[in-house]
Structure 1
Amino acid sequence: MESESTESARPTEPARPTEPAVTTCYRHPKVESHVRCTRCDRYICPDCMREAAVGHQCVECVKEGARSIRQARTAFGGRISTVPVVTYLLIALNVLAYVGEVVRPAIVDRFEMLGAALTGPDGGHYVWQAQYSYDFHPEGVVDGEWYRMLTGAFLHLPPTEGTFGILHIVMNMVSLWNLGRVVEAQLGRIRFVTLYLLSALGGSVLVLVIAPYTPTLGASGAIFGLGAAYYVMARRLGADMSAVNRFMAGLLLWLLVSAGLTSWQGHLGGLLAGGVVTLAYAYAPRDRRALVQAAACAALLALLVITAVGRVSELTSGAA
């Protein structure tokens, strides 16, 4: 009879409780975290948590989600913005330029809009002639100073000169403040600044065509362009036109009344350019709106440049 061998039973040690692994934030490895992002499942610390519809998300997932959401647009394709940054910036630039004029008056002669003139040996300014003696020098756009067509729109009459003096910049900046905030809110920043600059350029081109020998300055051309934009946008949006029509009638009346005191050519050029640009903004087909709007602005810019170059060619050749 075989005997069964039994091993002596060894005492077993009690199982030690396993310590939980320490989890840390994926962006801040030294910070302990026990919350996961509901989107990517990574651990996040309180500094990296962002409230979500369910739970919390990390910073990167929130940014990625924002990119995938379609941004709201205005009826003209611009991004919705509650702060008229461009309007503020334009006013600031005009005011800074005005301060520069007061400190250094020579800025006006150097940067105002001037199509064609002559500088004499005595430093004086003389009426343009295509044929001039060697001791005279051309100045203005005919001498390649094309920048004047935009810089003149940021200058205004010095405090003690002209009919209006300091009221020139005050009236223009008040108008820019009132119109700019409305137009920029509807167009968005990029479209608004494009409208403003093309309107200013349109005013300078008409001055160059009709009154090339007369120095002009002021933001009025660009502001008249904003006025035209305000009218076109109101019609496109189906607004109550009674107040808008009164505004437009007042704008046109000022264009006529001020013709003997200001550059009506700059006002009219800005009005026409602003109207053309805003018509393109307002009535471009929705499915290819951005492309049509950009093409219309580029076409207007090309037309203005060609017109200006042709007029300068006429002046230098003595045709006008």
Structure 2
Amino acid sequence: MHQLKDRGFDHRTPSEITPAAVYHARREWLQRAALGLAGAGLAPWAAREAFAQGGAPGKLAALPGARSAVAGGLVMDKATPYDDVTSYNNYYEFGTDKADPARTAHTLKPRPWTVSVEGEVKRPKVYDLDELLKLSPMEERIYRLRCVEGWSMVVPWVGYSLAELIRKVEPTGNAKFVEFTTLADKAQMPGLRSSVLDWPYTEGLRLDEAMHPLALLAFGLYGQVLPNQNGAPVRVILPWKYGFKSAKSIVKIRFVEKQPVSSWERAAPQEYGFYSNVNPQVDHPRWSQASERRIGEGGGLGGLFTKRRPTLMFNGYEPQVGQLYAGMDLKKFY
């Protein structure tokens, strides 16, 4: 079993890492904000920094958030360029190639949208998207994201802790797990014609994992609403787990007593476990997990020429989440 270590966590301030050349990008963002593009009543720090570090975002509606105060919520690695974040995606409902979602997801209609919260809760409710957006103040979290195939990104997400919604609906004493269900509409999602998975896509967490402050209910990235190919209009982000655990385009959140079976567990249980925590010591049967490539650092072809870097336990979030798994055999419960 992997021994958990307290490696600490050093939060540098943005002023210590932002190069002088970024100054001009900030000025451009401020000019955009002066024209009313930054949104009302939300702190612009995060959108400003994200814009500066990763290049100009697209032309979607602005959704900035205040600087995150959550421990581990601001990774100071260089942000992955917006173009890479929005063009190199795993979203099988829109195709199995990494370039498919950006090409085909224009058919998704992110409004109107509702999310049904049900099961073992005292206050079940069908939330309209606007209700969810107003449930808690928005933050920007700069998170690492690690894919099981061996590539990684650093993305400025906008949202708030999933725990805010969970507390609102008041889980009963029988609630031990949370199950997420993605939209499954063949009219909007051409990938559903494929039998690669049983649809709809489902994922699950233990309740304590879902309540962890780093578990993010995300509505945007780079200071704007989520692009369709990145899981619009609402998804979860679980930065210490492999990316497929972070369910996209969520339409149902169900609280249950028994551990749910996720889509990839059902499709290939020998390859994908329920926890799917990033662990360099547990390889996927077809890929080593000991190292990774950071998208956007090595030219084209998905960063195939990028120098590999060592994979960090829990994707570098061990100081924050390690105690969730204290005493567990992390090779058995992968």
Using structure 2 for the length normalisation, give the TM-score. 0.24
Higher relative contact order (Cα pairs below 8 Å, separated by 6+ residues): 2
Structure with the larger helix share = 1
Using structure 1 for the length normalisation, give the TM-score. 0.25
Query: Rg: which structure is higher?
Result: 1
